[in-house]
Structure 1
Amino acid sequence: MLLHKDGLIELKYDVVLDILSLKWPDMSGMTLPEIEFSLQKLIDTLRHYDIKNLLIDSRESKTDLDNEEHLALMLRFSEYLTSTRLKKMARLATTDLNRENIVDYAVGETNNRLGITFEIRNFADEAGALKWLRENQN
């Protein structure tokens, strides 16, 4: 079911599996307020539908943000996620080692500062991510 679509993101929800899917947009040329708006829409959707599983496809995502801005954005995003009832987040990783290092650092920092309340794993393929998200569902 399509829950939201705009020029930046598309949120699809599988009601049976309780999985919200998001293809992370190419953020090149986007301003920080535009990115923040999209993140807030995602968080609002997770809260409104009380979604427990999130699949983010980052494989084709790019950004113009420098490493410091990207890290700050990732930390805010992780903090927003801790305010939901999310249980698992699967992320389809990019092939950009620098970006992946920033994401890993942001996850570690968020866990140290706030204590992440959900499981997070990176995957190279969607099938593996979906299999993991479906494991141990009540």
Structure 2
Amino acid sequence: MILYQNGLIELDYNPATDVLHVTLPDAHHIGISELKRSLDTIASYIQSYDVKKLLLNSSNTLLHDMDDTVYRGVVAQFFTDLKKSRLQRIARVGTQTPSHEIRSANVTAALRQELAASFVLETFPSEPNALQWLLQPTAN
């Protein structure tokens, strides 16, 4: 069921699997303020619907021109907001740009540790792989 859509993002939630599917737009074309607003919206819906699993397709979200400090700040705020939820897993579909993926992996790993994030984040090359991982039973 579509929880939200605004032309930039669409939040598609499947209550049966407890997976929220979101495809992020190309931040290069929308700007940092719209990217932040989109991430705030995602975090808000995760909290409101008590979502446990997020499929975040960021394959089109290239941030070449974004300063490292700004990028880190955007991710840190998103992770801080997600800490207020009961989210357990994020399956991120990565880009085809190795330099961006290295940057993303470094920032997210550092922030997950610094912020003591309770969710697990894995990056995948495609949505089917990401969804398969999300649907695997978790050990409690």
Tell me the TM-score normalized by structure 2. Answer: 0.89
Gaps of 5+ in 1: none
Give runs of aligned pairs for residues 29-40 of structure 1, distance below 5 A.
Answer: 29-40=29-40
Deviation of residue 15 (structure 1)?
A: 1.2
Compared with structure 1, are the counterparts of its residues 117 and 38 closer, same or farther at alpha carbon in structure 2 (3 Å cutoff)?
same
Measured on the aligned residues, the alpha-carbon RMSD in Å equals 1.7
Partner of 1:90: 91
Query: 2:6: which partner in 1?
Result: 6
**After the TM superposition, which residues 17-56 of structure 1 pair with which residues of structure 2 at under 5 Å, given as runs?**
17-56=17-56
Are the equivalent residues in 1 in contact too, given 2:18–2:52 (CA < 8 A)? yes
1:16-61 C-alpha deviation (Å, 9 max, x unpaired): 1010000011112433322221111111100110000000111122
> Percent identity over the alignment?
29
2:123 paired with 1:122 = yes
Which secondary structure does the structure 2 equivalent of 1:73 belong to? helix
What is the CA–CA distance in structure 2 between the aligned matches of 1:110 and 1:61, rounded to whole Å? 19
Output the TM-score relative to the length of structure 1: 0.90
Deviations 1:52-71 (A, max 9, x none): 00001111222342333222
Query: What is the distance in 1 between the residues matched to 2:18 and 2:97?
Result: 29
Residues 83-129 of structure 1: CA deviation (Å, up to 9, x unaligned) = 21101100011111222122212222222212120111111121111
1:58 and 2:58 aligned: yes
8 Å contact from structure 2 (residues 25, 61) kept in 1: yes
Any runs of at least 4 consecutive aligned residues in structure 1 with deviations exceeding 6 A, and if so which? none
Distance 1:72 1:44 in 2: 18
Q: How many residues matched?
A: 138
Task: Kindly indicate whether the alpha-carbon contact (under 8 Å) linking 1:24 and 1:57 is maintained by their aligned counterparts in 2.
Answer: yes
